[in-house]
Amino acid sequence: MSTIVPLHHTVRRLDRDDLDAVVAIDARVEGRQRRGYFERRLAAALRDPDLHLQVALDDGGGLAGYLLGRVMEGEFGRVASAVRLETIGVRPDAKGRNVGGRLLDALVRSAVERGIGEVRTAARWDDHAMLRWLAEHGFALAPNHVVDRAIGATAIDAPAGGSAMLDARREIDYGAPGANDYERAGREGCVVGPMALRDLPEIARIDRAITGRDRTAGIGRKLAEAIHESGVRVSLVARLDDAIVGFVMARADLGDFGRTEPTAVLDTIGVDPEYAHRGVGHALVADLALNCAALCIERLETVVAPHDLALLGFLYDAGFAPSQRLAFVRRLH
């Protein structure tokens, strides 16, 4: 009578030598190869390990699974840090051995050690296998709104309207007389261009004016990552009166589970309160759409807190609508 000997599992940090195995597992699961995506994600983790939690699990057959997570720092004024579960993959013959659960446990331990209180992610409402897995591992629906907009020949120009403001105390009045005049004046004089590392002091200044907090260090890390990760930059600044008056930080995100088309994620957008109601936010979104189109990205997505009605209103006015993806959270404390 034979005895089944359980395979030994080793959980560790994902490293450069895992690339081929990760790509092979992903290709078998997704039916297509996404080597470029994983090359960028692994390279980003090596450049700045403080922003990335990438976990691997080995068994007797080699790499059995992997999980990629990214630390969230201040997206749309967020105060508490969180880790965003980006993608998870398990070798087909290793399924049924709780590989995904072990990977998630390792991610949670690392997050707790860093003082992070949440794991967040998103999945399509009809991805029943993923929804079941999230429920089994302690996730619940998050109150956040996931919104997106298509990018195409008819979706490049943002609609006219108000401007982007992230502070609910300065709520946008889209029905105010002359709102469209502000938009036209802003679009005529606003110059939007690629974000550069030298722009950090001005971006941090605008962020302080909106949030009341100094988040220069975190913004600097995200700025460096945004610039280094994309061949065509999708993070932009807006200038008026020879000064930076707004910014948008986004990233091409071509590998999250449940995505059926190339997608860019808008992390944060900010406009100097002194330049509110002058179309700066709409100019930034319009040029972001143009850059995404150049990357052959078909959709722009973001997540908004439920109480941030000003930002949600601006995004709807800029062509966004409710997404087919749902937001989930697992509290760690």
Domains of the chain from N-terminus onward: 10-116 (3.40.630.30), 146-323 (3.40.630.30)
Q: Encode pLDDT of 201-257 as tens digits.
A: 999 999 999 888 888 888 888 787 777 665 445 789 999 988 999 999 888 765 555
**Across the beta sheet with 145-150, what order do the strands follow?**
191-194, 236-240, 243-253, 263-271, 299-304, 145-150, 321-322
Q: Going by DSSP bridges, is the β-strand pair 243-253/236-240 parallel, antiparallel, or unpaired?
A: antiparallel
Per-residue b/e over 191-200, b at no fewer than 16 CB within 10 Å? ebeebeeebe
Bigger pLDDT: 73 vs 325 = 325
Confidence of residue 48 (pLDDT cuts 50, 70, 90): confident
Q: What is the token pair recorded at 149?
A: 């907009």
> How far is CA 246 from each of CA 168, 228, 276, 283, 300, rounded to the nearest angstrom?
17, 21, 10, 10, 19
Task: Quote the pLDDT of residue 162.
Answer: 34
Residues with Cβ within 8 Å of 218's Cβ and at least 6 positions away in sequence, in order, are 73, 74
Mean pLDDT, the chain, rounded, equals 81
Q: How far apart are CA 236 and CA 333, in angstroms?
A: 36
Q: How far apart are CA 90 and CA 100, in angstroms?
A: 7
Q: Encode pLDDT of 85-120 as tens digits.
A: 988 999 999 998 999 999 999 999 999 999 999 999
Segment (H or E) for 237:
strand 236-240
- Asked if residue 138 lies in contact with residue 114, where contact means CB atoms within 8 angstroms, the answer is no
Confidence of residue 77 (pLDDT cuts 50, 70, 90): very low
Helix residue spans in 16-161 (DSSP H): 19-30, 35-47, 99-113, 128-136
- Asked if residue 257 lies in contact with residue 295, where contact means CB atoms within 8 angstroms, the answer is no
